[in-house]
Amino acid sequence: MARYIFITGGVVSSLGKGLTSAALGALLQARGYTVRLRKLDPYLNVDPGTMSPFEHGEVFVTDDGAETDLDLGHYERFTGVAARNTDSISSGRVYTNVLEKERRGDYLGKTIQVIPHVTNEIKDFIAIGDDEVDFQLCEIGGTVGDIEALPFFEAIRQFSQDRPRGECIFVHLTLLPYLAASGELKTKPTQHSVKELRSIGIAPDVLVCRSEHPIPDKERAKIGLFCNVRQDSVIPAYDLKSIYEAPMAYHKVGLDQAVLDAFRIAPAPKPDLRRWKDVEDRIHNAEGEVKVAVVGKYTQLEDAYKSIKEALTHGGMANRTKVKLQWVDAELFDKGDPAPYLEGFHAILVPGGFGERGTEGKIKAAQYAREHKIPYLGICLGMQMAVVEAARNVAGIKDAGSEEFDHESGETRFTPVIYHLKEWVQGNYTVKRKLGDDKGGTMRLGAYDATLSEGSNVARIYGDSTLEERHRHRFEVDTKYRDQLEAVGLKFSGMSPDGRLPEIVEWEDHPWFIGVQFHPELKSKPFEPAPLFADFVRAAKEIERLV
Ligand code: GLN
């Protein structure tokens, strides 16, 4: 049976619960334990697949094809444990399950209520995989006091009661605001937040207090006293230069020790922190800087490309170099010249995306990279636009485009070199799909293999003849145009094992130009950078040396 750590937040949102959970998971691993991390989200969407990246940030895709919250990306980057479908649930999913059961008659004519039906559904979810790991860490999204989060809080309260005493603990994250006028850290919001939590039957064992200023021992003692938490379990959390410093920083202030104490695990196994020391060393001892332009649509909200940003950082760590990433809005040069916006960068990355807006700019970015021999990494839509560019400007298919855009506008303007998937094989099944199907969960999602051509750049980078990466797309490159494109030098260097779906394209007489239909950024970790990102940054560094 696993031990359970529930992580909640109070006072304000965006305190970094996900990061704290991930760092705590990493620290428990360093002490030799196995962990699994989960996110319980109170919103009513069934999954984040249809939520706008502008609003909610990136959708993180798991190997088993779930579209999940970006916090699962943090969990995976810090622990290396591949996130699964069963690691994320929302109120929408919980209610859907309950209502489906009700319709099926599973509840034998009972009146369906939040307690016990909804809370039982949540508790069953929390207990999935109970005997697989030493610790299950469950983060509750939102903030204590949110109306929609109440069933989750009630469920974790009940869960801890159902379990043998001492097998569940509660970690609560709060904020200590600083009043410059009086030069004081204020503890009252934290006291209120804990009071709120206790009023619904949850007494935190550990308090993690975010603060921009040092928290004096006197204040820690005061918080402990007023919140009924031991002083050494009031853990300060200060701002960090890099999120990857979090495990070491939390270890130094005693978070993992406080958690083990709360479980009465003594003596605590000694931690092996070499992995995180190495990560810190790479952050602090980086030489030089490469400038990478990320040409996208959702550039106002950094979280929309969270994993790309992180994977570039990891690529930098692999090369002991800093990566300066600049978001460039593709729409700026939809109609104009991209040169003023792209000059001076050592590499260009065009990430995934949906819809036509900004795609002419992305096509121009691919053209600019091809013609100026600048390293280019095109991911998903970024690959598709590189193919359109090649088709239009090199292979002479002047009106090449993607079926996605014609479908969206209801016009027929393009020769669809990118067309929609009609069916594909997933495991032992053939999945069939029409364009008009629901938007939710109708994509080619999750991990698929690709077979790499011998002697290709990508085979060298992966050091292998196959790879497995995660996908999230509806459209794909039409193999009908393969011969025509290869004849002008755009090689299809990675295909699905059945040879039907193009996975990778690369220009043969270019130092580094690769487009991939999958998302290599999703599996990248600071201690195990995605090969494509590590090599992309290496190539950028070479350009930087030349100029
Ligand atoms: N919109 C494209 C498709 O659906 C690309 C998707 C993506 O970049 N993730 O195929």
Q: Does the annotation mark 519 as catalytic?
A: yes
Give exposure, 208-238, as e/b (b: 16+ Cβ within 10 Å).
Answer: bbbbebebeeebbebbbeebebeeebbbbbe
Residue 198: helix, strand or coil by DSSP?
Answer: helix
The domain segmentation of the chain, as residue ranges, is: 3-279, 286-546
474 lines ligand 1 (CB under 6 A): yes
* Residues forming a β-bridge with 210: 175, 237
Please give the pLDDT value at position 208: 97
Successive 10-residue mean pLDDT values, the chain, 547 residues:
95 88 98 96 82 75 90 95 93 93 88 94 95 96 92 96 95 94 91 94 96 92 94 95 95 97 94 96 92 85 86 96 94 93 96 92 97 97 97 96 90 91 69 60 84 96 95 93 96 94 95 97 96 97 78
- Is the distance from CB of 381 to CB of 352 less than 8 angstroms? yes
3-state SS, one letter per residue, for 114-158: HHHHHHHHHHHHHCCCCCCCCEEEEEECCCCCCHHHHHHHHHHHH
Residue 356: helix, strand or coil by DSSP?
Answer: coil
Nearest atom in ligand 1 to 404's CA: 1
Please give the pLDDT value at position 297: 82
Please give the pLDDT value at position 46: 84
Separation CA 359–CA 519 (nearest Å): 18
Substitution candidate for ligand 1 out of 61, 380, 471 with most atoms within 8 A of CB: 380
Token couple for 243: 């999120």
Please give the pLDDT value at position 519: 97
Please give the pLDDT value at position 299: 63
- DSSP assignment letter at 372: T
Please give the pLDDT value at position 543: 83
Nearest atom in ligand 1 to 476's CA: 10
57 lines ligand 1 (CB under 6 A): no
Please give the pLDDT value at position 327: 93
Q: Which helix (H) or strand (E) holds 310?
A: helix 306-318
Q: Does the annotation mark 168 as catalytic?
A: no
H helices of 170-216, where? 188-199
354 lines ligand 1 (CB under 6 A): yes
Separation CA 92–CA 90 (nearest Å): 5
Q: How far is the CA of 308 from the centre of ligand 1 (A)?
A: 15
Task: Please tell me which residue in 380, 403, 469, 476 is annotated as part of the active site.
Answer: 380
- CATH of range 286-546; options 3.40.1350.10, 3.40.50.880, 3.40.50.970, 2.60.120.10: 3.40.50.880
> What is 3-279's CATH number?
3.40.50.300
Same topology for domains 3-279 and 286-546, yes or no? yes
Separation CA 510–CA 517 (nearest Å): 19
- Is the distance from CB of 354 to CB of 58 less than 8 angstroms? no
Sequential DSSP letters for 374-405: --EEEETHHHHHHHHHHHHHTS--TTEEEHHH
Nearest atom in ligand 1 to 380's CA: 8
